[in-house]
Structure 1
Amino acid sequence: MEDIWLSYAKRLQALAATGLHYSPDAFDQERFAEIDGIAREMISRLGQVPVRQLTGLAEPHEGYATPKIDIRAAVFREGRVLLVREKVDGRWTMPGGFADIGYTASEVAVKETWEEATLRVEASKLYEIRHRAKQPGAPDYRDFYKFFFLCTPEDDAPPQAGPETTDARFFDPKDLPPMSIGRSSPADVARALVHLRAPQMLTDWD
């Protein structure tokens, strides 16, 4: 669960960015700019990220500030789940990443699985929607929703690492390697397995 003060700072920064975009008043623009700067400094300190490296926050040119979307694919073969090893932290996660413009959410799940595990899949169900700030893991200064899709391999090809990963394998859900919790967690794998066995279940959401 995200620290409440980091949540406040992110909300404050988003409101400032929205105000900078829509307000025609020069004095209000000045105030919103100051609030934006203060909020970014707060996020930097609370998230332990240098201000100059704060990418992915709401920007005035984007219009009304909204959360980003992270998409993950839960791919099973013979009861084993596909995980890829991230170059960034050396830990494992379900394939995925931030949504790309021009693709549907399910298309992103399919595309990311191919790019990170060189495996062709078909999305079959959106099984989970979560707000990252309310999930386990280290604080993230960005604000985004997480969509999890069940996906089925289209063939028996073995997974292989892609440009953004160092390894790709199927694992027994009861014996998972150290996971990159901010991306996906053992709990996300467990829920995927439940939905795989009961496809009529409604999507989980928070």
Structure 2
Amino acid sequence: MKKTILALAAGSALFTLAFSARADVIYEWKATNNEVPREFGLRFVFADQVVQSGTFNFKVTTNNPYYGDPTSGLISMNYFGVTYRPREQGAGYKNIDINLQFGHWNIESGYIRGLDEYFQFDVSGSAGLWTITDARSDGLLWGHGCAQYPGAGLPAHGECHGAQGEIRRVPEPSSLALLGLGAFGVAATRRWKQSKKPADLLGRRATIQGYLPSERQ
């Protein structure tokens, strides 16, 4: 019993370590319907302290250019393959406006808006469900179910909207390894305890018999 409790405590400690030792936290878009733009790609990497604070705000406009900040809580942002790293470079978008509230596993609510010479997009979320309310480009969304040029039978200039999804936290491989190690420890201790039961039973029986009067000759 004591060994099982110790194993469970060790597994719990490993679980806690898995989510407290990480230096950054990754979130990715996971679609929940099949509306356009299909295969929408959105990926964030945040510093852990930002997620722990519960909120994140970031804004840069053409009238207030952003040239990079080594202390930014947003490590990187990727949209349709375009990566922006605010710690290392100036704004890849002409306008960026982000307001987020973090939940335990997902980004729960807020909005994400971006505009540059290639893309324009607007994503808003509430209660963990996010909706693309505007996404357009100069032909670069053609492969995502949106029009490439005016008159193609879909909204002009690649404008499209309606896709819904969640922005989910992605466990790190090291965290999964620690969790697996904890589960293995609990299972191994349980198997060891079960394998010891027959021997313990025989040992107790022999001890009891040692105190009983010997059978008559």
TM range (shorter): under 0.3
Structure 1-normalised TM-score?
Answer: 0.22
Structure 2-normalised TM-score?
Answer: 0.21
- Select the structure of larger CA radius of gyration: 2
Higher strand share: 2
